[in-house]
Each structure stands twice: as structure tokens, then as C-alpha cells.
Amino acid sequence: MYYIYLPYVLILAILTAILCRKQQKSLAWVGAVFLAPIITPYFIIKSERPQAAKWIVWFIISFILMITAEGFLWYRAYKENSFDRLNPIERTTVRLTQAIEENTAKLNKVMQTLDIKNNVASGKKEILIARDLISQANVLMKRGEMLTKKFVLFTTNYGPYFQKRKQLWAIELRNFYKSKSMAKYYATTHEYLNNFEQLLNYSQKHFDQIRSKKAKAMKSYDQYFIRYRRGLNHYQLYSDRRMKVQKALVKKYPRLKPYLPEKSQTRAVKLWE
């Protein structure tokens, strides 16, 4: 490291050498300042410079800034290199949990945005936006299921290792991913998103007829809407049940919160009055 420290003490040593030549002082001060820059205030006092107090203050400020910056660079390098010090099992665990955390955060954001769009009377533009959000949610849901299945398989195969290391959070997270509440959550979320997408597709295709309350178009629309509401009700029901189990798990292991989907406040979409 020492990316900032070495240039800093070199500049101090050069300034000390210049001052020593001007005041005909021993060049031993140069080596002393280079090896132990903390003695610089003492050198300033001994050199009897005008406004010595001001120069000492500037030195203290610069020294603190240098130490802070050097500490930040060291910590960043330590965090980056700490991954290499892990054994293969720990590295795989980190990769999986980081991927799950990132995917979960994206899914939560998309679902929250979709919830907002749900509650706004929609036009053609809003329908297109909602369809795009559903497409994003479906991709993230499938990726989330794939990642959790990998995590379940991995922690099952290496269960004794996690038990021995007393990393029970991994076992608890695996059991939650395998639970019926999580399986129902995935199934009903897919049902809700698919039925919602079908409703939006039909609404976009027959937008003007539905706006005009054409009997044939409205009859089909009502059928799509009933399926949508059924899917929404199932989604809300099992989302609530999942949250009860999830809250107990997070209370016991707070570190698991980033790996779990958030509570959705979805209400029925309101396309037209």
C-alpha cells in the first residue's frame, strides 16, 4: 500500500531539506522527518519560522487527511482481497448470497413500481409500462428461483460443514426456500403476473372497443379481469402467509433480510372507471 504515505513523506523531506539548506541546519532532519513525519512540528519549532503555529496546524490537517485516505485505500483493498482468503465452500456461499441479494433487490423494486402502476387509471402508455414491468418481474422471478434452487442444493450437499462451523443462518435460509410458503409464493406470483399480463394484452388490443363499452369486448374483458382478480387474491393470500414465516426468520437472523422478498401492497388494477 502506502500509495499516499510515501509521496507525502517525500514531499515533507524535500521541504525539510530546502529549509535546512537555507538555515544551515543539519541534514539529519531530512532523514528524521522522512522516517518519522510526526516529528515535523518539532522541526518547525526548532527552525524558528515566522507563524510557526500556522504551519503546525497545516501539517496536522494534512497528516490527518493523509492517514484517512491511506486507511480508506487499505480497507478497500482488504475487502477486495478478503474473498481470495476464503475456502471454496465459503466463496461459493458468498457468490450465491450476493447474487440472491442483488436479484431480490431488483425484484422488490420492480414489484413496488408495478404496485404503483396498478392503482392508476390506465391509458395505452400506462398499459405498455405495466407490461414492461411484468416482463422484468417474470425474468427476475425465474432467476430468483434458479438461484434459490442452487443455494438449497449447495447447502444440502455441504450441510455438515455449515453445522460444524455453526453457520445456522445458511441452514435456516435453505429451509425457508424449501418451505411450502415459499413454493406457494412463487406459484401464485407467477399466476398473478401471467393473468395480469393477459388482461393488459387484451386491453391494449381492444382498447377503443372497451373504452366505448362495446358488449362483446366488455364480456371478454370481464372474463380476463375475473381471472386477474383470482390470481391477485391468491398472490395476496400466500404473500401474507409467507411474510408471517419470514418475519420470524428475520427476527432470529436479521442478516437474512436482503435475501428475502418484501411485502407487497398490491391492490386491484383500475383500468377504467
Residue with the three cell numbers 435475501: 259
In angstroms, the CA 103 to CA 142 distance is 10
For residue 222, what are the domain limits? 92-259
Asked if 124 and 229 sit in the same domain, the reply is: yes
Q: How do the pLDDT tens digits run along the chain, 273 residues long? A: 556 777 878 887 887 788 777 777 777 877 777 777 877 776 666 666 666 777 777 778 888 888 888 787 767 766 655 545 667 888 888 888 889 888 988 988 898 888 776 655 567 888 888 899 999 999 999 999 999 999 999 999 998 988 888 888 888 889 988 988 889 989 999 999 999 999 999 988 998 898 888 999 899 999 999 999 999 899 888 888 888 888 888 888 887 888 777 765 555 555 544
Which cell numbers hold the place of 85?
482468503
User: How high is the pLDDT of residue 272?
Assistant: 47
Given a contact cutoff of 8 angstroms between Cβ atoms, the answer to whether 29 and 16 are in contact is yes
- Domain presence at residue 268: no
Long-range contacts of 90-98 (CB under 8 A, 24+ apart): 92/154, 93/154, 93/155, 93/170, 96/147, 96/150, 96/151, 96/154, 97/151, 97/259
pTM of the predicted structure, to 2 decimals: 0.65
Size (the chain), residues: 273
Asked if 77 and 96 sit in the same domain, the reply is: no
- Domain presence at residue 15: yes
Asked if 233 and 115 sit in the same domain, the reply is: yes
Asked if 69 and 103 sit in the same domain, the reply is: no
Asked if 63 and 97 sit in the same domain, the reply is: no
Given a contact cutoff of 8 angstroms between Cβ atoms, the answer to whether 33 and 59 are in contact is no
- Domain presence at residue 49: yes
pLDDT tens digits along 173-215:
899 889 888 899 899 999 999 999 999 999 889 988 988 889 9
List, in order, residues 6 or more apart from 28 with CB less than 8 Å away: none
User: How high is the pLDDT of residue 32?
Assistant: 79
User: How high is the pLDDT of residue 4?
Assistant: 78
User: How high is the pLDDT of residue 269?
Assistant: 54
- Closest to 177 (Cα-Cα) out of 142, 156, 140, 151: 151
The tally of domains found in the chain comes to 2
Cα–Cα separations (whole angstroms), residue 96 to 19, 139, 141, 146, 169:
58, 18, 16, 11, 14
Asked if 97 and 225 sit in the same domain, the reply is: yes
Asked if 48 and 136 sit in the same domain, the reply is: no
Task: Return the exposure string of 19-32: e unless at least 16 CB atoms fall within 10 Å of the residue's CB, then b.
Answer: bbeeeebeeebbeb
pLDDT tens digits along 41-78:
766 666 666 667 777 777 788 888 888 887 877 677 66
Asked if 202 and 247 sit in the same domain, the reply is: yes
- Domain presence at residue 271: no
- Domain presence at residue 264: no
Domain end residue (candidates: 52, 82, 112): 82
- Domain presence at residue 158: yes
Asked if 115 and 71 sit in the same domain, the reply is: no
Asked if 43 and 113 sit in the same domain, the reply is: no
Amino acid identity of residue 72, one-letter, is F
In angstroms, the CA 14 to CA 33 distance is 10
Q: Locate all alpha helices (DSSP H) within the chain, ordered by sequence.
A: 5-23, 28-35, 40-46, 52-82, 88-118, 124-157, 159-164, 168-178, 180-205, 207-211, 215-252
Asked if 122 and 34 sit in the same domain, the reply is: no
Asked if 117 and 43 sit in the same domain, the reply is: no
- Domain presence at residue 270: no
